[in-house]
Structure 1
Amino acid sequence: MPLRVVIAEDEAIIRMDLRETLEEEGYVVVGETGRGDTVVDLIRDTMPDLAILDIKMPGADGLEAARTINAERLCGVLMLTAFSQREVVEEARDAGALAFLVKPFQKSDLIPAIEVAMGRFRELQALTGEVDTLGEQLESRKVTDRAKGLLMDELSLSEADAFAFIQKTAMAERTRMRDVADRILDGSLRPATD
């Protein structure tokens, strides 16, 4: 699948050059704008892999847009600017830019910057997925521990017997232990008494 890109650059000639270069390299430009206050909605609508944002644009600057894009994890961000002062680069980094390119730039600079931005974005997505998975596992464990404690208190089961009941029920019903634990906690499931 070719990389899908949105361009936000207020200078029409630079926007046109970017589009041509990207298309020559096999990327697909799914949207473009010259205004910073419309780029986030454009990105939400087109769902690109990468946004190339100029820092200075009418309506809102690229830094503001980058912060929103980063907070919502919409896509990777490559910042363009005519300014290369350290504080501008740091602001772009802090706003969520994954790569930075100073205008005027060459095609030989653009493509590596895109690849760096996308590599970093994929790494962030993978890490976010791992964090989400770990969070879900931790929450499942907490719910299972609460259900186990309830069985121990109500039915005087040992910890091993309470855990075994949850585990065996999940296996027999081909469901998650978390689902069994939820049913124990809401009172709809208890072990059969002899």
Structure 2
Amino acid sequence: MSCLSILIADDEALIRLDLKEMLQGAGHVVCGEASTGLQAIELAKSMTPDLAILDVMMPGLDGLDTAMALHSMNIPVLLLTAYSQPKFIKRAEKVSVYGYLVKPIAEHTLLPAVQIAYARWREMQDVRLKLQNTQHELQSQKLIARARAILSAREGVNVYEAHQLLIREAMNQRISVVKLAAKIVNEGL
């Protein structure tokens, strides 16, 4: 696993120290330490860590609310807690965390959890990117189809011939078919 930049937030200094030693011993960089959720958010804004490890119960803003804020900043979160009750787990599911470890934490459970949490987050990023690309492609195809229909009606040709006209004209103007389709649709409105 590659070296990750990790933010730790726990109101217990001894826990932060143990986590830091385990993470650094595995080759990771602890880019910041916080004892409250608000401190964690501020550090995340300035440090942009690869991953955050948050305690659920911290003074002020708890780890679950902090996780929500970090999720909106596109930072994956691994939760750390002494609480394994279903209500905490249910709430953790709703804030899109990538792992949930129950204290006391040992190196043999922490390091695989970090690796898996980061890998799941990367997979999610890939899925989001593919979805965006697919949505963009779909919009482009809809635009081209509308332009073809306009050309077909305007030129009195079938859809296939309209498509060929669209391609030739895009090549003549040295622009993409999508850009030409957008021009045709905008003029046709």
TM value normalised by structure 2: 0.90
> Are 1:55 and 1:80, in contact at CA under 8 Å, matched by a contact in 2?
yes
Aligned equivalents of 1:163, 1:113: Cα separation in 2: 52
The letter of the residue matching 2:129 is G
Given that residues 47 and 74 in structure 1 are in contact (C-alpha distance below 8 angstroms), is that contact kept between their aligned partners in structure 2? no
Aligned to 1:191: none
SS in 2 for 1:38: helix
- Which residue of structure 1 aligns with residue 62 of structure 2? 61
Query: Hey, what does 1:7 align to over in structure 2?
Result: 8
The aligned residue for residue 187 of structure 1 is 187
1:77 paired to 2:77: yes
1 or 2, which has the higher helix percentage? 2
Q: Which TM-score applies when normalising by structure 1?
A: 0.87
Q: Which ranges in structure 1 are unaligned for 5 or more consecutive residues?
A: 189-194
> Given that residues 54 and 80 in structure 1 are in contact (C-alpha distance below 8 angstroms), is that contact kept between their aligned partners in structure 2?
yes
User: Percent identity among equivalent residues?
Assistant: 35
1:192 equivalent in structure 2: none
SS at match of 2:153: helix
Considering only aligned residues, what root-mean-square deviation do their CA atoms show, in Å?
1.9
Aligned positions of 1:145-160 closer than 5 A: 145-160=145-160
The 1:173/1:32 distance shift into structure 2, 3 A limit, reads farther
Written as runs of structure 1 = structure 2, the 5 A alignment for 1:1-194 is: 2-70=3-71, 72=72, 74-171=74-171, 175-187=175-187
Runs (4+) of structure 1 exceeding 6 A deviation are none
Distance 2:39 2:144 in 1: 46
Give the total of aligned pairs: 187
The answer to whether the 8 Å contact 1:43/1:74 transfers is no
Change (3 A) 1:164 1:26: same
State the 1:185 CA deviation: 2.2
The answer to which of 131-140 and 153-162 deviates more is 153-162
List gaps (5 residues or longer) in structure 2.
none
1:135 shift after superposition: 0.6
